[in-house]
Chains A and B, each alone.
Chain A
Amino acid sequence: KAGVTQTPRYLIKTRGQQVTLSCSPISGHRSVSWYQQTPGQGLQFLFEYFSETQRNKGNFPGRFSGRQFSNSRSEMNVSTLELGDSALYLCASRLGGGDTEAFFGQGTRLTVV
């Protein structure tokens, strides 16, 4: 069974640009969450999608947005990039409902220059 797939693995963008990251969850999983990891702030929750609906949102500005498609694949978009957005962005896949285990992808390393 394939794991969580995130693309691309690495990305370099310029300040002011926008970026879209993609996440394909484990087959059959309906919940996709996004997290940002930085050396200073650690792992922080961005948002969760379940059945194409955003169910939870973390404390990030509106420049961070996401969506989920009918096949459960999810995209995360960051507009007007800032240097501080440089981070490892992680996607977590979960079956949904009451189960607990969330399985993470390898992440996308975004560098803003």
Chain B
Amino acid sequence: DQQVKQNSPSLSVQEGRISILNCDYTNSMFDYFLWYKKYPAEGPTFLISISSIKDKNEDGRFTVFLNKSAKHLSLHIVPSQPGDSAVYFCAANLFRGAQKLVFGQGTRLTINP
């Protein structure tokens, strides 16, 4: 039972344009959500998070939107840069105060010059 899903295995975007990465979840008990960026053979790098009580969080070029009724979140990167090319993971946390992250399968983002 995959509780967090990233349905697009890959996404290709032109440099300077907006990248939109999507994530769906099934468990309404998740209390916060995170996005990570990962290069091969390295650990994930934290990008941005959002609490389940908010619908938007912004940090520089990165904005995360949460739609609780649709159980959907998205990460917007504007403008996209070549260095953004990586695999992006959406993660959701199940227990308030403690941590048990449930990860999606990842989306490979490629930024084309």
Contact = CB atoms under 8 A, between A and B. Distances in A.
Interface of A: 4, 6, 31, 33, 35, 42-45, 48, 50, 55-56, 58, 88, 90-92, 94, 97-98, 100-107, 109
B103 A56 contact: no
Given A43-B89, A100-B93, A101-B34, A106 B98 contact: no
Nearest to B49: A100
Interface of B: 32, 34, 36, 41-46, 49, 51, 89, 91, 93, 95-106
A21 to B, nearest CB: 13
Most buried by A among B32, B51, B99, B105: B99
A105 B45 CA distance: 9
A107 B46 contact: no
Nearest to B32: A100
Contact of B41 (A31, A44, A56, A107): A107
